[in-house]
Amino acid sequence: MATSSLDTRTYDGGLTRRDVVRWRNSLFVVFALSGLALASWLGRVPSIRDLLHASTLEMGFLAGGISIGSIIGVSLSSHVIARIGAQRTAVAALMLLAVGLIAAGLSASLGAGFWAILVSMAVFGFSNGTLDVAMNVSAAANERVLGRTIMPLFHASFSLGTMVGALLSAGAELLDLPVAVHVGVLALVIAAIALVVTRRFQSEDLGHAVEEVGDEAHATGWRSRLAVWTMPGTLLIGLIVLGMATAEGSANDWLPLAMVDGHGVSNAGGTAILFVFLTAMTVARIAGTPLIDRFGRVFMLRASAVSAIVGLLLVILSPVVPLAVVGVVLWGFGSALGFPVGLSAAADDSRNAAARVSAVATIGYVAFLVLPPVIGFLGEHFGLLRALLVVLVLIVVAGLASGAAREASRQKA
């Protein structure tokens, strides 16, 4: 069989086109698996609340368990990646993620109680946070090797995974399928697929920038990995990730319950509306990728912030469900690009990519730790819809900080 010229093209590190494409495709699958796992659990939140007879505040603390584990995972991930590499880190994280998901499902269905689910969710969050950094660092390296914007497409794959997870969760709700059976089977499938596809990963050190970075720290040790926090733009990029991750995460955590309690839809209807949000995010990530190359990161981030603000206001203030659903779509559009663009900006220099991605992701996950109980507390006293007004402030901050994500080529222009 004749070999295509595309297959014989050589990339950084001596990789062929086939190597790079297989690496890219394996990342698509890993991102999708992460989304599938997350949505499979979050889509069953209404049923879990009913099983626990939990208050809105208690559900906020339960969501906070995921965030506590995630922050620990994100904070330690750069050190783990430096020692064993992104590929091995991703494999280990996916296996632990499956364990946490199975444990949480069994705890919910067998009546083990609030604290057993909380601990299981912390394990799930730890593995998901570690995986988040590992797969994004590898994705940023793949993006550098390819030489074009592709990070939002990886996150679109994550969103596709969440869409599938939300659909399966809605179906499980309709069939009254036990949570343990539903998430347990999915966890085993995720673990099996992960063992196969992660073999295609390549080194995250590929695609180094040509320019020197002067006195900026290279992430070769604990002290230097901590020093990335003082690098220009790290904190501002962290604010972008903080605000836009909050826009996404607040929907994942609270949208089904907010639609059930605030707009009177059924449990299955709330999960279906989460699917609408996730679909809007997926479409925006796919459509927005070429627009980033055309208009730049800053313009797209500001446009995203406006869309998220308008959409969230419609969800909160709308007197009718159809208009609230329109708001959900705009909210999804606006939440789509902030997180991937922020991480891509943090990883612009591959020599500090793992440490800097870990730093800005840690800032983003702080919101996931603090906001669930805060929104739960406010929701208990003022209603979930009004409690979501807190999210608007952080989205505005993200829009104002968006200039920090500007590409180096556009800074020179």
Helix ranges restricted to H, 85-178: 86-109, 114-146, 151-175
Residues 6+ apart with CB under 8 A from 88: none
Q: Which residues pair with 13 in a beta bridge?
A: none
Amino acid symbol at 315: V
Whether residue 194 lies inside any domain: the answer is: yes
Q: Which residues of the chain are modeled with pLDDT < 50?
A: 1-6, 209-220, 412-413
Q: What is the DSSP letter of 10?
A: B
Whether residue 209 lies inside any domain: the answer is: no
Split into its structural domains, the chain has a count of: 1
Residues 6+ apart with CB under 8 A from 33: 94, 161, 190, 193, 194
Amino acid symbol at 368: F
Q: What distance in Å separates the CA atoms of residue 239 and residue 195, rounded to the nearest whole number?
A: 34
**Phi, psi of 5, deg, nearest 5:** -65, -30
pLDDT tens digits for range 106-155 = 888 787 778 888 899 899 999 998 998 899 889 888 888 887 788 888 98
Full residue range of the structural domain in which residue 260 is found: 17-204+224-412
Residue bearing tokens 């559900």: 59
Structure tokens given for 218: 């290279």
pLDDT at 412: 47
Q: What distance in Å separates the CA atoms of residue 315 and residue 312, rounded to the nearest whole number?
A: 5
Which CATH number belongs to the domain containing residue 190 in this structure?
1.20.1250.20
Residue bearing tokens 């505040």: 57
Structure tokens given for 261: 């309690």
Residue bearing tokens 């679109």: 156
Whether residue 43 lies inside any domain: the answer is: yes
Q: What distance in Å separates the CA atoms of residue 191 and residue 227, rounded to the nearest whole number?
A: 35
Dihedral, CA of residue 258, residue 262, residue 264 and residue 270, to nearest 10 = -10
Closest C-alpha among 287, 408, 299 to residue 344: 408
Whether residue 363 lies inside any domain: the answer is: yes
375 near 390, Cβ under 8 Å? yes
Whether residue 25 lies inside any domain: the answer is: yes
Whether residue 143 lies inside any domain: the answer is: yes
Whether residue 55 lies inside any domain: the answer is: yes
